[in-house]
Structure 1
Amino acid sequence: MVQLRVFVLTALAMIAFAGNSLLCRAALRDTDIDAASFTSVRLVSGALMLWLLLALRGNRQPLRYGSWGSAVALFAYAATFSFAYGGVSAAMGALLLFGAVQATMIGIGIWHGNRPNGVQWAGFVVAFTGLIGLLLPGLSAPPVGSAVLMILAGVSWGIYSLRAKGAGEPTAVTTGNFIRSVPLALVLSTAMLSRMEMDAAGFLYAVASGAITSGMGYAIWYMALPLLRATSAATVQLSVPVIAALGGVLLLNEPLTLRLVVAGAAILGGIAIVILAGNRKPA
């Protein structure tokens, strides 16, 4: 029963994370909402949902948790994520995002003295080759600006994840950070007021992204996380771009190009090699 619970919670969390990509891409492609408004509605909705979940557990002081530094990283992730999805497919965006997240976390680990072994260096080369292949000019290459924004979103989320590690009870910390990110999002929307657009469908997509696939998704993930080994927790997240790709094809009628499949396999495979080799016990 424990294994089934772990599987169900983990699967739901990964679907929720992929759902963020699908909802944002659908909103910015198919509705009139602008990226800044999507960011603001998403963060406000996420903050409200997380506050409600925390309150139901008897904790009504979320600002005791989290920090402004983490809130800035969270806001930077959410904003660049939204603006990037104006130009890339759900699958492409999720691949760039999670590749950048893992690369950031691994890179910071190296900076702090965790030296890669030979197998890990080989994984780095495979992943970097895949990224170059993905971004090379061609009919199926993503727009450079959108690709750079999504990579920045991944870097921001990687930094946020590392800052949140060991910062206290995860759901409470995430709630405090979401609440602190709301003023930053409102400043962004105010600065972009002249370009503000909104319709009911776009608003609902943003609410779903914030309340369900972000707020509830993170809460579910933090329920599963203590039950997973560190290696499993890192590698299972590599399933998100695959889920997003399938969702993009089935729900958004997005093409699944050969370049994306080959480059994605190289990027995710290379990162998996780095993670697994880093956790291998010496003989």
Structure 2
Amino acid sequence: MPLVLLTALALCFLAANSLLTRAGVVDGTDPLAFAAIRVAAGAVVLAALAARRGITVTGVRRWGAAIALVVYLLGFSLAYRTLDAGIGALILFATVQIGLFALSLARGERSGPVRLAGMGLALAGLVWLLLPGGTVRTDPMDAGLMIVAGLAWAAYSFAGKFEPRPLAGSAGNFLIATALFALAAPMWWGAAVTPFGAAMAALSGGIASGIGYAMLFRVLPQMGVATAGVAQLIVPVIATLAGAILLGEVPGARALAAGGLVLAGIGLATIRTGAKSTGSRYSCKGSRGS
């Protein structure tokens, strides 16, 4: 399959997580139960894809990544009780990129003025999006949960920098996360689950996450840093457009302006970073968030 088509499919699958989760939770499925079904379905698909080459389930780092995955899944599902699909994807996307940027600074990586300005612009756009008033519907608690989910996914993506076998490691992460959800079953077992919501959770975990991530692992090594950075800008755009068409969630003028500011800032920082690098594995890993 051509690289362009494979990349487009991977990005659509990643954006679909927001749509599927929003649709399933709005239908009446409990967010915790949705997350549990999603991670189990993702574990089954990723384990099947990685089985021939082995699955990595050992190591302290594996548990750290699995816990970050659990926090991401919980925050992501709970946030979509009120957030529109597109706005949720934008908050998640912006938080992941800003979180990865903060981690790079904490590790002593140098950042030029253009990258700093770009991330500052993105942060300003995110703050503007989250300010109350106007037609932007952002419940403070659920917006905060999506920010927590974004920070957890940034940590998960950062852990991927040290993963020698991404597919095997991801399968292991999902399997351990599934076990953690099983241990916490008293918190969600017996909660409301609609047939439609269960189907959305299975599609989100098995197809949008499992197959989507597998596609992403295949295309990222073939993409330059700048290309990967620009490509990831498309995810919240796809989620917003699809949310408007499929869920009737049309963003207002302020949400579009704030979102444009976020994407412009991240694009500026990412393209600038890509111009100075010719294959940073870390930068590519950061594009998994969704």
Q: TM-score range by the shorter chain?
A: over 0.9
Instruction: State how far apart, in whole Å, the 2-side matches of 1:277 and 1:267 are.
Output: 16
For the 8 Å contact 2:13–2:209, the answer to whether it is kept is: yes
Residue aligning to 1:160: 156
**Does 1:85 find its partner at 2:80?**
yes
Q: Deviations over 1:44-63 (max 9, x none)?
A: 000001111122xx235443
How far the C-alpha of 1:128 sits from its partner, in A, is: 1.8
For the 8 Å contact 1:134–1:141, the answer to whether it is kept is: no
TM-score by length of 2: 0.90
Aligned residue for 1:198, secondary structure, equals coil
Residue aligning to 2:15: 18
Instruction: State how far apart, in whole Å, the 2-side matches of 1:242 and 1:207 are.
Output: 23
Q: Deviations over 1:116-155 (max 9, x none)?
A: 2221222123212211211111142400001111011111
Instruction: State how far apart, in whole Å, the 1-side matches of 2:264 and 2:186 are.
Output: 42
**Does 1:175 find its partner at 2:167?**
no
Aligned residue for 1:280, secondary structure, equals helix
After superposing on structure 2, the runs of 4+ consecutive aligned residues of structure 1 that deviate more than 4 Å are none
**Does 1:116 find its partner at 2:111?**
yes
TM-score by length of 1: 0.92
Aligned residue for 1:140, secondary structure, equals coil
Q: In terms of mean alpha carbon deviation, does 228-237 or 7-16 score higher?
A: 228-237
Within 5 Å, which residues of 2 pair with 1:46-195?
46-55=42-51, 58-63=52-57, 67-138=62-133, 139-193=135-189
Instruction: State how far apart, in whole Å, the 2-side matches of 1:275 and 1:14 are.
Output: 17
Aligned residue for 1:165, secondary structure, equals helix
For the 8 Å contact 1:96–1:150, the answer to whether it is kept is: yes
For the 8 Å contact 1:101–1:158, the answer to whether it is kept is: yes
Code of the aligned partner of 1:177: N
Unaligned runs of 5+ in 2: 278-290
Code of the aligned partner of 1:16: F
Instruction: State how far apart, in whole Å, the 2-side matches of 1:115 and 1:6 are.
Output: 32
Instruction: State how far apart, in whole Å, the 2-side matches of 1:279 and 1:110 are.
Output: 17
For the 8 Å contact 1:36–1:188, the answer to whether it is kept is: no
Backbone CA RMSD of aligned residues: 1.7
For the 8 Å contact 2:98–2:123, the answer to whether it is kept is: no
Aligned-pair identity in percent equals 36
Aligned residue for 1:67, secondary structure, equals helix
For the 8 Å contact 1:133–1:263, the answer to whether it is kept is: yes
How far the C-alpha of 1:239 sits from its partner, in A, is: 0.7
For the 8 Å contact 1:51–1:62, the answer to whether it is kept is: no
Code of the aligned partner of 1:201: F
Instruction: State how far apart, in whole Å, the 1-side matches of 2:143 and 2:114 are.
Output: 28
Code of the aligned partner of 1:157: W
How far the C-alpha of 1:193 sits from its partner, in A, is: 4.1
How many equivalent residue pairs?
275
| Shift in alpha-carbon separation, 1:281–1:178, aligned structure 2, 3 A | closer
Unaligned runs of 5+ in 1: none
Q: In terms of mean alpha carbon deviation, does 231-240 or 9-18 score higher?
A: 231-240
Q: In terms of mean alpha carbon deviation, does 129-138 or 207-216 score higher?
A: 129-138
